[in-house]
Amino acid sequence: VRSDKFVVDLKEKKIYSDIGFTLRLPDGGTKRVRGLYLICDGGYHFWRVLQCTIKNASDDDTRVFSSRVESLRKDVECVFGIMKKRHKILCRGIEIRELQHIDNVFFACCIIHNMLLEDDGWADRYKKRSYWNKIGPGAGSDNILSAFSSAETDTADTEDDTHSDLGDFDERELIDDSALTRNTYMRQAAVAVGIERENEHFDLRRDLINNLKMQFLDNEVYWLC
């Protein structure tokens, strides 16, 4: 990821640093945050701009947050699978040598994919109220974990949220932020693979978890089914 110019520029606040969003706090206040972040799996650095799930979370709020982030990430991955089925050129090694031409091929596939979404009516699905589920105490459950679980069961097939794609590095998914300090083996494993840790990563993750919880309690959470 260090060689990904977009991620590095985002990390160094060269791009999108002026874009902000407001997060809800447990004390009823709000916090203005500037700079975007990317959703990823647990195989990346603990940078502020790379937010991943917590596999072995010990509390309901964190488990729900992890489940929602994982669900969004998998939606993106499914798009690539759909595109590979639609465009055979993406199913095998691309024989084009020029990088710009490869980019153009992929962009063309994306454009066609979006055109098909428009033609099939899927692009406007989010505009229809019937496709949104309200999740919160006013929707029948006072528990955030059971509310999201019920919504998933009623609207769509769910997937296992474990990080099977991480291979031997699954154990880097920690129960809380101090796990590396308590567990010598995990700390040594992280150092061995060169994982970088930023305090801002954990601060933002905590704020995002609290924001989801506060929105849930105020019946402001909707989920597209």
Write down the pTM of the prediction. Answer: 0.70
Give the C-alpha separation, 135 to 216, whole Å. Answer: 7
Say what the pLDDT of residue 35 is: 93
pLDDT band at 177 (very low <50, low <70, confident <90, very high): very low
> Which two structure tokens, joined as six digits, stand for 41?
């799996």
Task: Return the H-helix or E-strand segment holding 221.
Answer: strand 221-224
Comparing 135 with 122, the larger pLDDT belongs to 122
Higher pLDDT, 14 or 69: 14
What is the predicted pLDDT for the residue at 193? Answer: 58
27 has pLDDT over 60:
yes
pLDDT > 50? residue 77: yes
142-170, pLDDT tens digit by residue?
556 665 555 555 444 434 443 333 333 33
Torsion angle defined by CA atoms of residues 47, 52, 54 and 59, in that order, rounded to the nearest 10 degrees = 90
> What is the rounded distance in angstroms from the CA atom of residue 140 to the CA atom of residue 80?
36
pLDDT of residue 127: 85
Q: What share of the chain is helix, strand, coil (3-state, %, to 5)?
A: 55, 10, 35
**pLDDT of res. 76:** 83
Contact 151, 136 (CB under 8 A): no
For 61-129, give the secondary structure using H, E and C: HHHHHHHHHHHHHHHHHHHHHHHHHHCHHHCCCCCCCCHHHHHHHHHHHHHHHHHHHHHHCHHHHHHCH
Question: What number is the average pLDDT over the span 25-50?
Answer: 92
Q: Rounded to 5 degrees, what angle do the CA atoms 134, 139, 141 make?
A: 120
